[in-house]
Each structure stands twice: as C-alpha cells, then as structure tokens.
Structure 1
Amino acid sequence: MPSNILAIDFGTSNSAAAIVESGQVRHIPVEAGGQTLPTAVFFPQGGGTMRIGEAALDALIAGDEGRFMRALKSILGTSLLHESRLIAGRRRTLSDVITAFLRELRLRSEAATGRSFPRALSGRPVRFHSADDEADARAEEDLRACYLAAGFDEVTFLAEPEAAAIACGGLGGDSGIGLIVDIGGGTSDFSAFRATPEGPEILANHGIRLGGTDFDHALSMAFAMPELGLGGELRREMGEGRLPVPRAPYIDLSTWAKIPFLYTPETRRSVERMVRLAVEPKRMERLSAVLTLELGHELAFAVEAGKISANGDAGAGRIAMDVVEPGLGVPLSSADLDAVLDDARAQLGEAAGRTLAAAGAAPGDIARIVLVGGSSLMGFVESEMRALCPDATSIRANAFTAVVDGLALAAQRAA
C-alpha cells in the first residue's frame, strides 16, 4: 500500500521531496529538471504570485522589483521568525514565508504524483542551535507549526544524519562502524552507526550550528566587505581623532537571512553619514550603492561562487564584485580559503570527535566515513575527517539527496 507520508528535506540552501514506489526511492520533480530546488523565495513588488526555487533566483538575476529571501531555516527558534515586516507591499512574518514555501512544496508534490499527502516526515538537524536547548526545542516547534499551517495534518521529525545513515548504511560493507558527516548550509551533523540486517544501528548523534552559509560569511567578512569599507576609519564629527567603521552592517550584509532587512531608510541614512566622514570615501560609497540598489544577495552569490572556485582543482578563485563596480574583485586562493576557514575546520573535527566519544568508539574503529550535504564537498571537510580517522575509507554519497532518500525509506516503513 502506498504511503501517504511525504518525505521532505527542508534545507537551508536546498530542499527536496521523495516517496518510495515499487521499493525504490522516487525523487519528486518539485523543480523542473532537478532533484532538488533552492530554498529561496521571491515576492514581486506590488503583489503577484510568490516564486520559489530557480524561479526566485531567476527573478533576482533579472533584476525584477521585489523581495528575495534565502536561508530562512536559520531563523527558526529565534524571535526574528515572528516579527512582522513589510515585504512586497504586505506585512508578513518569516514564519508566513516558510509556511508558503512548504505549502507550495506540498502542492507540487501532490500534482506530480496525483496523490494526497496529509502527513510529512521532515528532516531536522541534530541541533538547530548548538548550545541553547530552549532555542533548539523552539525551532522544532516553529517548524512543526509551519508544516501544519502549510496544510499537513501531521508531521514527525527524523535527525538528518540518521536519515542519511538509512540511505547510505550499506555503503562500504557491513563491517566496523560508519560515521555520517552531513555538512549542510546552516548546520553540521554527525551520526556514528553500525550496519545490521534490520538497518543501521545509531550509536550516537551530535550536531553544531555551523555550515556553508557560515563559511560564506567568514569569507565575505575577510575579503569582500573590506572593499566596501570594513576595517576603515571615520573622522569624528566634532573634535579630533578617528573612529573605526562600525561592523554591524557588514555582519548583516554577510549573513544570507539578514540581507533583506538592511534595505531600510534608517540604514541608508546611517551609511550616507559614514560616507561623508570616511577616511576612504570610495570604499564606503560602494557600500551605499549596494544598499541603494539592493545588491546584497548578488554579492553573497559572488562570495559563494568564489568559495567554490577556490575549492576546485585549480586551487585559485576570485570573488567577482562587478555587480558593485566594473572590474572590482578579490583573488581567493585555496590557501586563503584554508586560512579563513581554519576555525570552522577545527570545530568540525571537534564535533566529529565528540560523536565518536559518545558512541564509545575510537578513531581506529571507524571503517568508513560517509560525506553528505552540499558543504561536505569542501576539501577541508574530507581532509579533517581523514586526519581524525586515518584508517577509514572515505565515501562521497549522493551529497544533495542522501537525507531525503533516507527519509523516504523511513516514511515507507512507518506507513
């Protein structure tokens, strides 16, 4: 009997839906031509149909008037989720936006399959918030409320690395202990497991609030934001001496989820004042242009593209900032990448080590490391895991679909 449970991987950067048919996982084409769709929305200025996924990205690239948003998952569990804001001529909360995205995902899934899905099995990170139990519990309840408001009668959750273990548990043989390393856009999750005839036996889970968008943030602050005035100085309006340029607007401009909320008259006036007082006004004028023309997301995509290119075989990339000023850009080498992300690498290694300790396993007990999640494609991730477990075989699973595959299999078993 077909399951009426829809498996959904609602990710920080990408999302997917799947079911099991004839014993095989079927990825539902919620995005034409792809197994996943970007977790992005676009609200046209003055009203009109909300666009999601590639259509939202296309609207941004085309320069359509409206509000683009990405990385909304990172807002769950925070007060920002329920703040009402004027978005494309109408007051909405970010909870409303996530609900609208999930509703569209449900409707597309039902249209593609000809079936109704009153129930959802959703992935969730081991920890939405690393060290705040209250915020972590609140984040799951926030997401549950969004699913129910999106038209589902029931939603249950499964830790994302556990889902990946279900999908990938047999990879590399059945001997020894496996370690799932799931590095997503906003969180990093780890599961130590042992394969059994009944499926993977989860020995321990651990997770931290660190992912690809944090990598982007660090690179943007180190390389892109100085070209917009970060690190510069301001002359005092009265008296002698100088003051450092405030970091706050650059922090928000480097944070995917906060970019849309910088485009306010108050922020623009504050930056215009800094332009007048700047020791290097040219750089500050670039920041003013980014806010006036609402180029924050284009700049964030440029940083992300530079990260990916520096991570490639050539080992050299560039953050192309032509959208701000023709010819403007910053070289980005693999060495630069490693230096800026060294702290992130250390955090991932520590988190993986804590997972092994919780499982009662030594590094030498790990037979295979299974890398999933888009950000696991970063070279330093695999390098750090190999350093931790030098005897393990490293396996790259279906980076973008392993979680939804496991969710679909788990949903079928629960039917």
Structure 2
Amino acid sequence: MSAIACGVDFGTSNSTIAFYQDETLTLVPVEKHHTTIPSAIFFERIDNTPHYGREAVNLFLERHKGRFMRSLKRVLGTSAMKQGTLVNGSPMNFNKIIGQFVKYLKDKAELTAQQEIDSVIMGRPVFFIDNDPVGNKNAQEELRTIAQNVGFKNINFQFEPIAAAFAHEVNVSGEKLAIVADIGGGTSDFTVIRLSQKYLTKPDRSSDILANTGVRIGGNDFDKDLSLHAFMPELGYRTTYGDKNLPIPLKYYFDLSEWSKINTLYTPKNLMQIRQYLGQSHDKPRLSKLLNVIEQESGHILLGAVEDAKIALTDAPSYVAPLDFIEQDFVINTTKMMFEEAIEQEIVKMATSASECVKEAGITPDAIDLIILTGGSTEIPAVQAKFRELFPNAAVSDENKLDSVGVGLAYDSKRRYL
C-alpha cells in the first residue's frame, strides 16, 4: 500500500474530504458524484438508522418519520456536547452523532483510495466560539476525540482560511500578500498570508502567516436575519396579546430561525402556551400560522424556504417564497434590498474582523494583493462588494468556493505526513 494522508473539512453547512496518495490529490465523491455533502443527518424513527447529506434532507422534506439534524458543528465547545439530545425518544451523545458523520466521510475516502487512512488534518475555524478560550479549546479536543473514535491515529489541525490559501497557492504567480475570507455556515475566518508557488513544499509555513482573526457569524446567521426580517412577522413576530398588549414571546421566533434550535420548540408546553396566546391574540391570522408550524413540526421546512430565498436573492432582485405547507396559497414576497438590509450588521462585523486581521499583520489594506473568497456565503454580492471596498488594490480569487478548504487540508496533510 502507498503512503496516504487526508484532510477533512467538517463544515457547519457542507463537508468535504480529500486525500494525497502517489503524488496525486483526490477530492472524494462523498455523495454519488458530489464532492461536497450537506452536514446533515436524518435518523429513522423505527431504528435510528442514519442517513446523510442530501439523502437526509430529502427524507426530512418528504416528511418521513424521524429526527433531522444539521449545523452540528455549532454544538462543539458548548454545554450541549455533554448534555446530548433525544433522538426519536432515546438519549444520544453528540460525540456519537458527529462521529457517525465523520466516519461516513472517512469510509467514503477509504473506499475511493482502496486502503485505510490513518493520518488526517482536521480543519477548524479560528474561533469555534467568540470570546471563549475555554470553549474553543474544548471544541478542538472534542473534535480530536471524535477523529480518534472513528479510527484516525495521527491527528493534527489547521485553520480553515489557511487551508483555503494553500488550495489557491498553486495558481499564484510570483509572491502575493493575500487575505483569505472564509465565510462558512457558522463562522467567518480571516488570514493574512504570503503566497508563492515556491513555498508549496516548504515544511513550516508559520513565518508566512501574518495574522488570523475570526467571528462566529456565517450563512446560518444570514438565514436567521432574513427569517426575522421578512418571514417571522408573517407568523406573528412582534405582535401582541391580551388586555395589557403584551408581546408574544420572541423566543419562539428566534429558535425557529436557527437551525440547531428548531427541534427544541416541539414540546407540549410550547403548544399549550401558543394556543393560549392565540386565544387572546390581536393578530390571530398571523399567530395561527406559527401554531401550524409547531403542530406540524415543519420548522426545518420553513427555514429551508428562508434559505432558498437567500440563495435566490443572491442573483434575483425579488423572490416569492411558497409556503403552502403552512397554509394554502400562503406566500411571502422578498427582495434583494430587504435581504441586504437584514444582513447589513453581520457584514459590518465581518468587515471589522477582516480589518483587525490586516492591522494585526502590521500592514495597511492597500498592501493586500489578493482577496481569496471561500465558503458559500461569499457568493452574496453585498459580501463581495464589502471586501472589494476594503481592499481596493487587490485582485479577487473565488473559484472552488465549497471545495478549497478540503483541498488545502489535503495539501497540508502531504506536507506534514508524507
């Protein structure tokens, strides 16, 4: 058997795995011909049989009985890792849940390589959790334990934006001072790095990495912002009830707008309370739609519709979201302007973090030669415009937005293990 090592990009929204073998890099087809897979699991209600990726999403959308989960990465480093969750009525540890997904990736890579893979570089965000050093340390160690449990023997970590830089470096002419903007589903990470093809085989790149910053904001937060801005008001968000004009609790709407919290809403207590509020509501038509969503347990379908609107508004000036599953002929009209207003503050926070990265590197914005955009949320025109505004002298490299971190991790695995 030939020497082999791999890189795993376990993302909040999508994941990839790539390996290096016989001087060749292979990006693994992890779901049919696809080299990326949604980071989603669906457990069948009968026996908790797991399904992954697009298959998991489709089973859920087709209303099969079971438990659907996504955005699992956001659990790392939080108290939920220890608490676990109920999966079809049975307690299950998140180490096991995430481990099943990572093992699925490993199995696919080994099937493609036709041999076992012991050595891995795991991608990680600069910060799993903002302003929480203990949580960040715990998150990496939890991911290390998961990697060990699925059979990896040699485990190292690399910041995801640095991995993305490695993937783009093979196409760099001369030497470039680059900033990598890796905007994923759960985090936005930034790295200022010197790139050159002559550095490709350099064993230690620490002197070329000038600064790293990050913030816990990503595409999932854009979903949440659009949901609260355009969708939740049509379900009674910020409406009132009773003689004292008290607001309907906001928690329902915030949890309904966050992938990792939707399942917590489906309790008899919440149903009872919403029915009580509906009896005293000053806007019964809208609040009844919220009740429908909770009764039908269709929160993930609703947030999926929000995500569809987000994707559509990346290119189109307007989009009509069909929500027949809530009520017949129910639609919500959205516009690009509405979406950009909703996410404006998140983009400002991303820009602030990127500017801090450049400042920590000891350079000025006009010294940046190249902007490397990676992660699905960099498709959004308002995001691209902000980075072009921040770094006016820089060219933009944005190919392979969803694959580049996995590819870069595989390059790094070669550098470290082979």
2:71 maps to what in 1? Answer: 71
Tell me the residue number matched to 2:389.
387
Kindly indicate whether the alpha-carbon contact (under 8 Å) linking 1:177 and 1:365 is maintained by their aligned counterparts in 2.
yes
Out of 256, 260, 263, which is 1:257 matched to? Answer: 260
Name the CA distance, whole Å, in 2 between partners of 1:81 and 1:150.
17
Residue 409 of structure 2: aligned partner: 407
Q: Decide which moves more: 321-330 or 64-73.
A: 321-330
Q: 1:144, 1:121 → 2: CA distance?
A: 10
Alignment of 1:6-405 (within 5 A): 6-196=6-196, 197-199=198-200, 201-235=208-242, 240-312=243-315, 314-405=316-407
1:395 shift after superposition: 1.7
Change in CA separation of 1:270 and 1:3 when aligned onto 2, cut-off 3 Å: farther
Q: Residue deviations 1:41-67, cap 9 Å, x none?
A: 000112142001111011012110001
Q: How far is 1:359 from its partner?
A: 0.9
Q: What is the CA–CA distance in structure 1 between the aligned matches of 2:68 and 2:343, rounded to whole Å?
A: 27
Instruction: Give per-residue Cα distances to partners, 1:210-266, cap 9 Å, x unaligned.
Output: 00000000110111111111110011xxxx422011101111110001112221222
Counterpart contact for 1:15–1:36, Cα < 8 Å? yes
The answer as to whether partners of 2:13 and 2:70 remain within 8 angstroms in 1 is yes
CA contact (8 A) 2:3 2:21 kept: no
Contact 1:39 1:70 in 2 (8 A): yes
* Structure 1 residues 119 and 273, CA gap change in structure 2 (3 angstroms): farther
Q: Which amino acid aligns with 1:165?
A: A
Contact 1:176 1:365 (C-alpha < 8 Å) held by counterparts: no
**Alpha-carbon separation, structure 1, partners of 2:320 and 2:22:** 46
Provide the secondary structure at the position in 1 that maps to 2:369. Answer: strand
Aligned residues: 410
Identity score, percent: 33
The structural deviation recorded for 1:193 is: 1.1
**Residues 189, 215 of structure 2: 8 Å contact kept:** yes
Cα shift at 1:22 = 4.1
| Distance across 1 between alignment mates of 2:380 and 2:119 | 35
Rounded to whole Å, the distance in 2 between the matches of 1:20 and 1:221 is 44
> What CA distance in whole angstroms lies between the structure 2 residues aligned with 1:242 and 1:383?
42
1:114 maps to a residue whose letter is: Q
Aligned mates of 1:325, 1:175 — CA distance in 2: 58
Give distance in 2, aligned partners of 1:346 and 1:368.
Answer: 20
Contact 1:18 1:405 in 2 (8 A): yes
Give the secondary-structure state (helix, strand or coil) at the position aligned to 1:246: coil
Structure 2-normalised TM-score? 0.94
Give the TM-score of the pair, scaled to structure 1: 0.95
Contact 2:12 2:71 in 1 (8 A): yes
- The one-letter code of the counterpart of 1:113 is A
- The CA deviation string for residues 90-114 of structure 1, in whole angstroms up to 9 with x for no partner, is 2112232111111222222222321
Using the TM superposition, give the Cα deviation of residue 345 of structure 1 relative to its aligned residue in structure 2, in angstroms. 1.3
- In structure 2, what is the Cα distance between the partners aligned to 1:82 and 1:111? 32
Deviations 1:251-296 (A, max 9, x none): 1110001112221222222222222221112222211111111111
Instruction: For residues 137-185 of structure 1, give each alpha carbon's deviation from its aligned partner in whole angstroms, at most 9, with x where no partner exists.
Output: 1111122222222232332110001101111124453344111111100
Cα RMSD (Å)? 1.6
Amino acid corresponding to residue 351 of structure 1 in structure 2: S
SS in 2 for 1:398: coil
Q: Write the letter of the residue equivalent to 1:411.
A: S
CA distance in 2, matches of 1:117, 1:278: 59
Q: CA deviation at 1:372?
A: 0.7
CA contact (8 A) 2:366 2:391 kept: yes
For residues 122-143 of structure 1, the C-alpha deviation after alignment (integer angstroms, 9 at most, x for no partner) is 1000111121111111111122
Residues 293-352 of structure 1, C-alpha deviations (whole Å, 9 max, x = no match) = 11111111100110111110x322233322212222222211111111110111111111
Measure the CA separation in 2 of the matches of 1:68 and 1:207.
29
